[in-house]
Structure 1
Amino acid sequence: MHQVLVDNNSSANILYYPTFQQIGIGRERLVPTNAPLVGFGGTRVFPFGVVTLAVTIGDYPQQITKNVTFLVVDYSSAYNAIIGWPTLNSWKAITSTYHLMIKFLTNYGVGELQGDQVAARKCYIAMMEIDDHFQAMSIEEHRMATEPVERLEDIPLDDSRPE
């Protein structure tokens, strides 16, 4: 698959619905989810569901294959998918945006993926022309604020310097 955005700031892996359809996976493989994605504009996007796919990166023999869980969304994009930081961490990958490169460990040494600067530029320009895009998305987390159990006490470590 080409035109995959590697986004160190995204907490989610995204697979765009047209790509999902082109892969030829039936909708019955989608697992429902109610975790909305939140884009830059604060608008919530509700995925069709999640799907786990085996993803192979690198060239033989310096390659790895891992299961990656994608949120499938129906949105316009110049990209086919977005790979976020949780997956990059699971791959133990090092990314360089300057070099458009990812390096990762394999059983046979260091594997690498090299991006295409011309294709990256075309995708970037195409994304800027799409009004309703949400390039950086994160899974919305519901956190409850907790109250302190007790009041904290300041204890000076050095009486000559109480600050």
Structure 2
Amino acid sequence: SGLTSKEKKRKIKQATIISQISTSLPPAEDDPVIGFQKKDLVGLDLPHNDALVISIQIAQAMVDRIHADEGSAANILQLAVIQQMGLETKINKLARSLTGFNGATTVTVGMIDLDVYSPPVISSQTFMVIDEVSPYNGILGRPWISKINAITSATHQKIRYPIPGGGISQINSDQAMARKCSA
């Protein structure tokens, strides 16, 4: 084989060390499988084309009319919501441009970092703060959805996400509020 006895012993020792390291690592645990079934449609007004509109705790306040939107690359909160929370002084007043799906541009008031409570998961999120007329108090977009590993279903009006310990938690959309917001 061309290897000396000393080189063979060194290779065997390396393989043994690698094997020991590999077997001492805990097995990777997958998140639970998250899905939706027909029974999840019970209680909904069907058929529908409603957005996911939720109430959720942001910082120390329950905020309603939050659009959970996988199509949004940003989390957004209305300035009035921040003012009602008494957190206006925490806004990093750095104006940025937000461009919507239709190409319209909005200049932000600034940005703010706040905790979002999706029990039992708490995630720190950066929000763009806007002062614009909107039926929504805010948008939780892909940054939040991805951070909590959520799966959304507008059809089922639900957001499900894994929780520590292997379970699944759920946030239900308010279908009536979604319709008021889009009216």
Q: Which residue of 2 aligns with 1:114?
A: 172
CA–CA distance in structure 2, aligned partners of residues 118 and 86 of structure 1: 26
Deviation at 1:65, TM superposition (A): 0.6
* 1:16-55 matched pairs, under 5 angstroms: 16-26=78-88, 28-55=89-116
2:125 is matched with which residue: 68, 84, 108? Answer: 68
TM-score, normalising length: structure 2? 0.62
Deviation at 1:36, TM superposition (A): 0.7
Q: In structure 2, the residue corresponding to 1:3 is in which secondary structure?
A: strand
Consecutive unaligned residues in structure 2, runs of 5 or more: 1-62
Counterpart of 1:7 in structure 2: which amino acid? D
1:5 is matched with which residue: 55, 67, 71? Answer: 67
Counterpart of 1:93 in structure 2: which amino acid? A
Pick the structure with more helix per residue: 2
Q: Is the 8 A contact 2:90 2:112 kept in 1?
A: yes
TM-score, normalising length: structure 1? 0.69
Deviation at 1:88, TM superposition (A): 0.4
* 1:141-152 matched pairs, under 5 angstroms: none
CA–CA distance in structure 1, aligned partners of residues 95 and 133 of structure 2: 21
Deviation by residue 1:80-114 (Cα, 9 ceiling, x = unmatched) = 11011122011100000101100011114111000
CA–CA distance in structure 2, aligned partners of residues 110 and 32 of structure 1: 37
Consecutive unaligned residues in structure 1, runs of 5 or more: 126-163
CA–CA distance in structure 1, aligned partners of residues 134 and 85 of structure 2: 16
CA–CA distance in structure 2, aligned partners of residues 66 and 43 of structure 1: 30
